[in-house]
């Protein structure tokens, strides 16, 4: 028995002791630890994972997409997606997050019927493997719940295994559940007829998404087996969907509980021993401080979604005032080596508002909501204390969200949109770009009407020949945005100072100029990132940003050279500069 294996046993045993310390029915922790290790096929492990190792660099950029965001008649969507990746992303984006590609019943994939199969309408496992051979593959582990039409839930209703004890039952449906944090307005409990009579099962998100009971270790074993299966199929990055709600304990908020955090640590241990360069990203759409807790002590999630960035950045660009974005950035701790922020500003869901709580004032959130609604956006709600509903997220395509300011639409839409991405691409962390941002897709009102779901507004399905035509014509918004984003990503990918863990400091340039300084880990390169977030010209002296006078400085984006730090710099509305002393190119 190797030393690495003994250490693995000790770690897994400790995790399980913490997770199940208050579950009386779980008494054989050693046996359970051995089972999990065997499921992950780690009995012959010889090496320990290297701690605090960064499995990413400035060259990493993740495209976020559904398996059928691009479609072509007569072809499986996963084939079409690979064609799109090779034609428009090769050499530009090296990683792809394919949103749930499993058989499902609702929520565009997040009500999973079978975690181990590929949705036949999309393709098959060989298609997933083909993509994983050419791009680093990120997959959802929809760990909190499954479809009400899954085999597990059908078995639950029939009293059969596996499934009969996989779900959270409430013996007293009238119990006080007011402390439970909810992301939706639907009733928490679902009445369900079973062979043992009427039961009430827990449904955090919808009655088609039934929460799994991780107090039953068999559920944990099932998901460890699913993880092993995904690794075998080429998945390298695991997005733990809605993981904050994993553990339920009456009398608590049932969010961010100790057992939930320890379960993430357990999964990280097992995944790291199985594949040392694999990465866990936690998807926790919650207030900023709670979100940060999923880093643990560099022993939990490798990466966390930077959920506060989208609402703060959109607020900045529609108001022309970066004070709240700046305050938040100064409060953010640098990620330790072995961890990183996952930055994004658009997603398949929407602009989350819970991550803005405590960062934006209520009246500012109201202005943000009203402005987005005037640009065609929708609002989704959640249940809050006292039986009231609160805005949960804004559903809108980012291209339309940035078409104007609080004063209304204007002529700066594309520049404002590019500015948002230039800021995101420069920040500490790994950037994720939603496919509909890369190609400047607008609000899809027909899809909202067809599905009756607000989120569908930003889940357009492109006919691939039509998308290709739009991207080949120089005058379209799609081509203009694609070309400019492509150039920014290419520049970013080779600059050492844009490493996800490179040093970052906030610059103080007033409220219309948002700026920060990045310095490479080896200290050879500095980049000063400055964006005009207003619709008016802004002027600055280079000496105001502490450039070293003996160095030669150049803006990577415009290729402008600055001969002296005494020069003045005029930034046009929504212009960004990346000023460096050591430009790096291919």
Q: Which residues are catalytic?
A: 241
Query: Using DSSP, how many helices (H) and how many strands (E) does the chain show?
Result: 17, 27
- Which run of H or of E encompasses 399? helix 398-401
State how far the alpha carbon of 200 is from the alpha carbons of 65, 152, 172, in Å: 35, 16, 8
CB 483 within 8 A of CB 92: no
DSSP string, 512-546: SEEEEEEE-TTSS-EEEEEEE-SSS-EEEEGGGGT
Tell me the C-alpha distance between 497 and 503, whole Å. Answer: 8
**For 577, left (φ over 0), alpha (ψ -120 to 50), or beta?**
beta
Q: Which positions ≥6 away from 331 have C-beta within 8 Å? A: none
Q: Which two tokens stand for residue 361?
A: 């004032």
Q: Which positions ≥6 away from 22 have C-beta within 8 Å? A: none
Q: What are phi and psi of 342, to 5 degrees?
A: -105, 105
Q: What is the DSSP letter of 179?
A: T
Q: What are phi and psi of 421, to 5 degrees?
A: -75, -35
107 annotated ligand-binding residue: yes
Q: What are phi and psi of 2, to 5 degrees?
A: -75, 160
Peptide bond into 584 cis (omega under 30): no
State how far the alpha carbon of 176 is from the alpha carbons of 77, 171, 206, in Å: 46, 12, 19
- Which of 364, 393, 525, 521 lies closest to 454, judged by CA? 393
Q: Which positions ≥6 away from 226 have C-beta within 8 Å? A: 115, 116, 141
Q: Which two tokens stand for residue 177?
A: 């559940």
240 annotated ligand-binding residue: yes
Q: Which two tokens stand for residue 484?
A: 């400019």
239 annotated ligand-binding residue: yes
- Which of 347, 382, 446, 354 lies closest to 138, judged by CA? 347
Helix (H, G, I), strand (E, B) or coil at 396: coil
Q: Which two tokens stand for residue 295?
A: 């880093």
Residue carrying the six token digits 């004032």? 361
Helix (H, G, I), strand (E, B) or coil at 393: strand
349 annotated ligand-binding residue: yes
State how far the alpha carbon of 292 is from the alpha carbons of 15, 226, 244, 301, 564, in Å: 20, 27, 12, 10, 41
Task: Estimate to the nearest angstrom the gap between the alpha carbon of 583 and the chain centroid.
Answer: 30
Q: Which two tokens stand for residue 586?
A: 């291919």
Task: Estimate to the nearest angstrom the gap between the alpha carbon of 437 and the chain centroid.
Answer: 15
- Which of 355, 359, 358, 379 lies closest to 369, judged by CA? 379
Q: Which two tokens stand for residue 503?
A: 């040093």
348 annotated ligand-binding residue: yes
CB 423 within 8 A of CB 527: no
- Which of 239, 236, 295 lies closest to 265, judged by CA? 295
Binding-site residue ranges: 107, 145, 239-241, 348-349, 455
Binding-site residue ranges for substrate: 107, 145, 239-241, 348-349, 455
């Amino acid at each position: 028995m190797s030393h690495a294996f003994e250490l693995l046993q000790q770690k897994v045993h400790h995790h399980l002791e913490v997770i199940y310390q208050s579950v009386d029915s779980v008494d054989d922790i050693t046996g359970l630890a051995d089972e999990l290790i065997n499921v992950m096929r780690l009995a012959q492990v010889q090496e320990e994972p290297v701690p605090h190792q960064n499995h990413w660099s400035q060259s990493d950029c993740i495209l976020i997409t559904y398996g059928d965001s691009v479609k072509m008649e007569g072809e499986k969507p996963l084939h079409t997606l690979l064609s799109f990746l090779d034609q428009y992303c090769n050499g530009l984006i090296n990683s792809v997050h394919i949103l749930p590609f499993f058989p499902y019943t609702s929520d565009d994939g997040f009500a999973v019927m079978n975690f181990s199969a590929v949705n036949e309408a999309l393709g098959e496992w060989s298609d997933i493997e083909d993509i994983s051979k050419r791009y680093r593959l990120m997959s959802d582990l929809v760990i909190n719940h499954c479809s009400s039409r899954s085999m597990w839930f059908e078995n639950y209703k029939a009293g059969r295994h596996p499934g009969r004890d996989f779900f959270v039952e409430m013996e007293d449906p009238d119990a006080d559940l007011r402390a439970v944090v909810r992301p939706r307005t639907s009733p928490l409990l679902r009445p369900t007829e079973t062979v043992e009579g009427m039961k009430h099962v827990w449904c955090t998100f919808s009655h088609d998404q039934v929460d799994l009971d991780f107090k039953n270790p068999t559920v944990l074993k099932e998901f460890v087996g699913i993880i092993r299966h995904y690794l075998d199929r080429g998945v390298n990055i695991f997005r733990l969907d809605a993981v904050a709600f994993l553990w339920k304990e009456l009398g608590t908020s049932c969010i961010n509980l100790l057992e939930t955090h320890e379960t993430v640590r357990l999964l990280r241990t097992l995944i790291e021993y199985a594949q040392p360069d694999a990465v866990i990203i936690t998807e926790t759409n919650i207030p900023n401080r709670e979100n940060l807790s999923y880093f643990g002590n560099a022993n939990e999630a490798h990466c966390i979604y930077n959920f506060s960035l989208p609402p703060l950045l959109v607020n900045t660009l529609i108001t022309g005032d970066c004070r709240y974005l700046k305050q938040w950035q100064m409060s953010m701790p640098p990620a330790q080596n072995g961890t990183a922020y996952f930055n994004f500003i658009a997603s398949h869901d929407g602009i989350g508002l819970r991550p803005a709580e405590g960062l934006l004032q209520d009246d500012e959130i109201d202005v943000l909501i009203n402005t987005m609604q005037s640009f065609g956006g929708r609002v989704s709600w959640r249940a809050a204390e006292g039986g009231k509903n609160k805005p949960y997220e804004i559903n809108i395509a980012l291209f339309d969200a940035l078409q104007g300011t609080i004063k209304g639409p204007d002529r700066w839409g594309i520049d404002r949109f590019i500015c948002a991405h230039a800021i995101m691409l420069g920040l500490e962390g790994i950037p994720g770009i939603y496919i509909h941002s890369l190609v400047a897709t607008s609000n899809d009102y027909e899809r909202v009407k067809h599905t009756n779901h607000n989120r569908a507004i930003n889940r357009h399905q492109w006919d691939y020949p039509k998308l290709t035509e739009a991207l080949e014509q120089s005058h379209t918004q799609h081509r203009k945005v694609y070309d400019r984003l492509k150039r920014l990503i290419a520049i970013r990918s080779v600059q050492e100072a844009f490493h996800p863990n490179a040093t970052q400091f906030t610059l103080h340039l007033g409220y219309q100029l948002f700026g920060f300084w990045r310095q490479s880990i080896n200290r050879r390169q500095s980049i000063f990132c400055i964006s005009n977030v207003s619709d008016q010209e802004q002027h600055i002296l280079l000496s105001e940003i502490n450039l070293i006078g003996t160095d030669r400085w150049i803006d990577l984006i415009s290729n402008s050279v600055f001969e002296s730090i005494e020069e003045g710099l005029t930034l046009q509305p929504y212009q960004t500069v990346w000023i460096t002393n050591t430009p790096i190119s291919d």
